[in-house]
Structure 1
Amino acid sequence: MADPRAGLLGSARRRAAGALRQITARPRIAALIARLAPRSVRTRTTLAACVSVAVVLLVASAAVLLLLRANLVRSVEAGAREQAQVVGRLAADGHLPNPIPLDHGSDFVQVTDTTGAVLASSQNLAGRPALTPTGTSEGHDTFDLQALGDEHHQRVTTLTADTPTGQVTVRVGASLHTADTAADLTTAALAALSALLVTTVGIVTWRATGRALRPVEVIRSEVAGIGDRDLDRRVPEPGSDDEIARLAHTMNAMLDRLEAAGVRQRRFIADASHELRSPLAVLRTQLEVAHTHPDPAVRATMVAGALQDTDRLQSLATDLLLLARLDATGHDGPQEDIDLADLVRTTAEGRHAQPHAVTLDLTDGLTTTGNPMWLGRLLTNLLDNAQRHARTTIAVRLGFDAEAGQAVIDVTNDGPAIDPAGREKVFERFTRLDDARSRDDGGTGLGLSIARDIATIHGGTLTIDDIGAGCTFRTRLPARRGPATGDGGTRPGTASD
């Protein structure tokens, strides 16, 4: 006797194997679908247009065929009902002929009494027994009409009438051959027309999409051919004012930015190399002289000079690192609510002794959001620049432009004014105007550039304005009024630098 557990185990194994085959088949099917899926936009667009039109035509054709057939069947039923009513009136009057003549469109007529006996019929049903229902179709009774000797698609109308000898049943069968023929012809015509329309839509969509995407392909090939050494090339811009033209314009604007960034990078590298090479050469010379010179006083002088150049190199490296960090992080730095008056006052008063005093005129209660360390560096750079070029005094004023919602920080020194033609140039990296070319003042040529980058990152601006005598650097930052501190107004003060 077979062990039933073995049968159960075998069945479980077969089910597990079938499930495993289904699981392993799914990735293969997905991969096959992915390989067969069209990859080009032109092909996908054409297929989508053809499928959409085909679906619409299919629904419309089905609706037309249903309405047509319904109207034709209704007409056939009306004719059969009319003949049934005529036969019923003849039976009621006692003038029922046998055989019963057929009207146009009718296949047969049969009249039976309550016992099912045939009283009269058309010629083609002469001698045949009474028709009995065999089922229903489309809500109507169906009959076995093989007695007619042919396959017939008919609609049978049944009507009862009262006669002098009792109630009779009249059945009239009307042929649906005309309706079927019309439906078949209409179906064939709609199928041919739909195929023609779908083909036409496919051809038109294919050509129109190809023509529309041709500028995109030109742009793609042109961009693909642009290397890092020929960023001056531009993609052609179509004359039309459409999405393709805007794409080409955007691509050219991006290439403009890339070219400008490349130029800035190359110039920055060249300037940084030059700025680093000069102090390194001087430092090497001083160390070589100090190493070989027998006089201790000369060696001490050389070492002091080397320390100064080392400090300058350290400042330059710090500025370069800060610029790289600003370029890399942008707005990603820490965001804090900053009291601007307190920041300006702390920055000015926390500096080491300087040759020129700094006068403060601050409006309390102004708050901005940003990185306090970077904003402090902005102020420090502006104050360092002012100290290098001031004759006697430096003034720092903090105000509020209520209409623009901005805090305005003016750092003014009474030194020589900057010519309007050079006011933008001073913010370029490693730029020194002719009256500030000396490296003995300790500047690296990066302070104002760093200050402007910090202002831009915080949503503000840094410009040079004509405000009285001397030179004024104006910083604008988004700010809001907060609770006032102290007396809540404008309070002058002096920071002894």
Structure 2
Amino acid sequence: MAEAAGRADAAGRPRRHRTGVRGRITLAAASVVALALVIGAVIFWIVLRASLLEGVRASAEQDAAALAAQVEAGGATSLGDLGELDDDRIVLVVAGGAIVAASEEAPATAAGLRDGASVRVDDETYVLAREDAESDADGGDDEVAVIVGRSTESVDETLGTVARLLAVSVPLLVALVALTAWIVVGRALAPVERMRRQVDAVTATTLADRLDEPATGDEIARLAQTLNGMLGRLESAQATQRRFISDASHELKSPLATIRQYAELARAHPERVRDGELGEVVLAEGDRLERLVQGMLVLARADEGALRPDPAEVDLDDLLLAEAARIRGGGAVAVDTSSVHATRVRGDAALLAQLVRNLVDNAARHARSGIVLAVDPEPGRTDRASGGDASGAVITIDDDGDGIPPGEREHVFERFVRLDDSRARDTGGSGLGLAIVREIARAHGGEARVEDAPSGGARLRVELPAAASAR
């Protein structure tokens, strides 16, 4: 618990890692360059050493070949005093396994002195070269071997100097790369830090502010554009939410005010209110409140992505015929159900019943004399909810009212929207019916739209995915 608490600051937010993106990129770049330079330096040192030693060995072979030719021509005595040779060479002349001539620094025995070997004499290393010669200058016919060793002291000094230079230059180069990466990454991330500060300063009251977009056209500029787009969507969502709350408050206040007025009138002047009138008003306005609250709950679930249908087999024709009987019972408009065909879909029965009721009530409110209900399977439509091909059910509700202009047809699906006086509150509508229709249709993978009706009014068309057995 103490460790977990130590990972959060006083505000309860997780502590930031001390090493940010800038530090991690710098560390990664420096590490990669350091590894490459160390590997390159080691390989360079090994190749240089092999090359220098090969040069020393070639010099020893040349000396051995020259001395062997001299021995063949004049015998071992022709070499003179070998003690006068350069200090960086040793020479031995071996005949019959015995040393017949040697320089001062030469080993006391010739055992193990083979061609290409190295020997250490008085803390100094020599690379050996051996050359055989036949000499009869001394009256014999002995095989003579001339062994010459070249000192590697100069090679060791050169390699030591190179190693010291590499030991100094590699860290300097790594430091230079790290510094360069730190500066370059810092400059590249400077716009990101500015955007972070600007986003951190955004509150519910400053959603209209936008981030500065760099003119570079790179990933950071696209990030700024994306964040600005997100702020725009948040601002729009906030405005929609505020408008929804305002409209909902107004809608709820209207029936409550009506109930209060009748109640106050009944208490102050009971003689003016006939028997049962107050109860009728309360029931009517209560029913209106119930429908409004239920509609807002459906829309709230849709906004939260929680409007998930409980799938079951639903007969759409039964739903439309039931609503037709209800409207006929009111006697206000005529209802034509001749185009209602047997159609079954797989969806939420309660939600689809609400969809059908909202469609029929909307048409009945705006019709002059009658409405036409129709439902029929539409074969060959793609089921967007399941991703497969299946039949699609189509519901159409026509009215013979004034219709809806093409430019306003999308607005009728917005919440609390009324296009004109014909859609005023006194007609009984709340402005949520068609918004609920579209949300329910989309929750089932379908869509809702407005078209022209043959009677000159409006046609509301809802397309829904259907079960495999559509009929």
2:461 maps to a residue whose letter is R
Compared CA separation, residues 335 and 202, structure 1 to 2 (3 A): farther
Task: Assess if the C-alpha contact under 8 Å between 2:315 and 2:344 holds in 1.
Answer: no
1:395 paired residue number = 373
Deviation larger for 42-51 or 426-435: 426-435
Greater shift after overlay, 202-211 or 219-228?
Answer: 202-211
Q: CA deviation at 1:219?
A: 0.8
Q: Which residue of 2 aligns with 1:21?
A: none
Distance 2:120 2:73 in 1: 30
Task: Output the CA distance in 1 between the equivalents of 2:343 and 2:95.
Answer: 110
- Residue 269 of structure 2 corresponds to residue 302 of structure 1: no
Per-residue Cα deviation, 1:92-128 (whole angstroms, up to 9, x for no partner): 556122534888895211233454x321112444xx6
Match of 2:433 in 1: 447
**Percent of pairs identical after alignment?**
34
Residue 384 of structure 1 aligns with an amino acid whose one-letter code is: D
Distance 1:378 1:177 in 2: 99
Question: Which of 121, 136, 151 lines up with 1:175 in the alignment?
Answer: 151
What displacement does 1:185 show?
3.4
Q: Would you say 1:354 and 2:335 are equivalent positions?
A: no
Alignment map for 1:108-127 (pairs within 5 Å): 108-115=90-97, 117-125=98-106
Please list, as runs of the form range in 1=range in 2, the aligned pairs for 1:90-489 lying within 5 A after superposition: 90-92=70-72, 95-96=75-76, 97-100=79-82, 106-115=88-97, 117-125=98-106, 129-130=108-109, 141-146=117-122, 151-159=123-131, 164=140, 166-291=142-267, 294-295=270-271, 298-330=274-306, 333-334=308-309, 336=311, 343-351=315-323, 352-355=325-328, 356-359=334-337, 361=339, 371-390=348-367, 391-398=369-376, 400=378, 402=380, 407=392, 408-468=394-454, 469-477=456-464, 479=465, 482-483=468-469, 485=471
Query: Measured at CA, do residues 157 and 409 of structure 1 come closer, stay the same or move farther in structure 2, by a change above 3 Å?
Result: farther
Report the AA paired with residue 101 of structure 2.
Answer: A
Contact 1:153 1:177 in 2 (8 A): yes
User: Contact 1:76–1:105 at 8 Å: present in 2 too?
Assistant: no
Hey, what's the Cα distance between the residues in 2 that align with 1:240 and 1:225?
A: 24
Instruction: Describe the superposition over 1:250-274 as per-residue Cα deviations: whole angstroms up to 9, x where unpaired.
Output: 1111101111111111111111111
Matching residue's letter, 2:409 = R
Distance 1:476 1:75, change over 3 A: farther
Q: Which amino acid aligns with 2:127?
A: R
The answer on whether the counterparts of 1:239 and 1:245 sit within 8 Å (CA) in structure 2 is yes
Give me the whole-angstrom Cα distance separating, in 2, the residues matched to 1:242 and 1:314: 54
Q: Contact between 1:98 and 1:122, CA under 8 Å: does it hold in 2?
A: no
The corresponding residue for 1:26 is none
> In the aligned structure 1, how far is the partner of 2:335 from the partner of 2:17?
76
Cα RMSD, aligned residues only: 3.5
Q: How far 1:398 moved relative to its partner?
A: 3.8
Q: Please give the per-residue CA displacement for 1:371-428, whole angstroms capped at 9, x wherever unaligned.
A: 4543443333222211222231223244648587774543322222013343233222
Between the aligned partners of 1:292 and 1:231, the Cα distance in structure 2 is 50
Shift of the 314–480 alpha-carbon distance from structure 1 to 2, 3 Å rule, reads: closer
- Name the SS for the 2:461 alignment partner: strand
* One-letter identity of the residue aligned with 1:61: A
CA distance in 2 between counterparts of 1:293 and 1:476 reads: 53
- Secondary structure (helix, strand or coil) at the match of 1:201 reads helix
Alpha-carbon deviation of 1:457? 3.7
* Aligned CA distance change for structure 1 residues 343 and 254 (closer, same or farther; 3 Å): farther
Deviation string for 1:462-497 (max 9, x for gaps)?
Answer: 2222343210123345x4784563xxxxxxxxxxxx
AA at the equivalent of 1:347? L
Provide the secondary structure at the position in 2 that maps to 1:130: coil
CA gap of 1:241–1:402, structure 2 versus 1, over 3 A, is farther
- Specify every segment of 5 or more residues in structure 1 that has no aligned partner in the other structure, as ranges: 1-34, 486-497
Greater alpha carbon shift after TM alignment, 387-396 vs 372-381? 372-381
Is contact 1:289–1:302 with CA below 8 Å preserved after alignment?
no
- Indicate the SS of the match to 2:124: coil
Q: Name the counterpart of 1:44.
A: 24
Could you say what secondary structure the match of 2:337 adopts? Answer: strand
Where 1:463 maps in the other structure, the secondary structure is strand
Please report the TM-score for the alignment, with normalisation by the length of structure 1: 0.77
Sort the Cα spacing of 1:104 and 1:441 in 2 relative to 1 into closer, same or farther, 3 A: farther
CA contact (8 A) 1:84 1:172 kept: yes
